[in-house]
Structure 1
Amino acid sequence: MKLSRKQRRMLEQGKFEEEQHIEKLPKIRTIKPITDNQKQAFEDFYDGQNLLLTGSAGTGKTFIACYLGLNEVLRKPEVYDSLTIVRSVVPTRDMGFIPGKIHEKQQVYEMPYTSIFQEMSMEDDRRFYDKLKNQNIVNFITTSFIRGHTLKNTIIIVDEIQNMNFNELWTVVTRVGKNCRIVFCGDIKQNDLYNQREESGFKNFFKILHNMKSFSTTEFNINDIVRSDMVKEFISTADKLSISPNT
């Protein structure tokens, strides 16, 4: 049985008498890319690149990022401790507006990952995401609480980046410590930022990544939409009419 870095440390520290007391790492389905752009994203990641995945809704950006990240963590437990998902809490930006404790507030923004990770599980398990969190294989954090953290030995998925202003994006990148890789996902057309200065900051962030050798960019288009035929038809028609959520 392969042990993660954390599990090996626990054994070395004598926190477990026998190896079988440690919960086995889960297995996930093998996912293969469908479109040419998806194949490019897979190849770039396997080549060791950090990724910037942008483009139309329904193209599988978040699913691809989560699959590549989780698969890498499970394949290389001696290298990575976990997968860390980072999101902004736009449109409120301040989680104080949502009732409940921190973990209860975060659950609203974690809902999409339940179905994403269910699709990856071997048994179509709807609780797979929660199980991975309970094993500390997957962690979730919002940009509201990432300051002061140093992320180490983890694959980082920064999701819905169109909803982050430049300061949030800057903060996330500067939290990255040793032995990490990072994947940014977003769709500019679904931007929830209303302040023009925030939008221009987002574009400047893109410029920085485009000029970094450690990053590869994949721009998904209408031909990459795999969610459903209706989504593909809707976005294609809106594109022809030059209509977007921000127009």
Structure 2
Amino acid sequence: MKKIAVIGGTGLIGSQVVKRLSAQGHDATPYSLSNGVDLVGNKGVAEAIKGAEVVVNLTNSPTFDEASAVFFRETMENLLDEAEDAGTEHIVILSIVGVDQVPDLAYYQAKVLQESLLEQEEKIPYSIVRATQFFEFVSAAMSWTSDETAVRLPSTLVQPMASAEVAKAVADVAVGEPLMGVRNYAGPEVFSLDELGRVTLAFQGDRRPVVVDESAGLFAAVTGDAIIARDDAVITTTRYQDWLLSR
């Protein structure tokens, strides 16, 4: 049994990670602003990770713009300082497949910064879990560029996966030996984002058309197959339409 502190442990992924680890018999505790742990202000962090062999950091920037770099720098530096003092044996973070292949997206570059800060820490073993976009994120991405008449999406290639399988990946890595590097996880199907939008709208009975607009939304900055899994990725099993049916 491991003692594991999950910071950001009440969110979509974190809550599932805690539940999965606890079911396996580990002592997994969620921490977030709601119970007094603030990585930005470095409040309650030392107390949260004291005695924990593994620290999983799932905190996320509240914005996707240039401010996200400040968030990830401050939170990562604060965590590393406290983890070194606490004698933490393993730090795990969640990142994004292809994150280093999208130089024009501020949020992705901020995640690259977070990864780099962890990789440069010489005293604490670490693991970076990179996952593709979550199924749960599709509706939000559509809402950014839609109105009552149409949904506008770029034809960006994506390979989404279920958040439950993201959580499983994080939990499995957290209880294993530190990777001292990156492991990629991706869903079993590749879609263009506009195609994924049409599948989603059809399932919802929404008759609005999807208009291909290569300048629309966050993923307009992604080119080619930048965020598609490479050959070394672990491919999960849940298909998008099956996930929709299970909701």
> So what's the TM-score if we normalise by structure 1?
0.36
> So what's the TM-score if we normalise by structure 2?
0.36
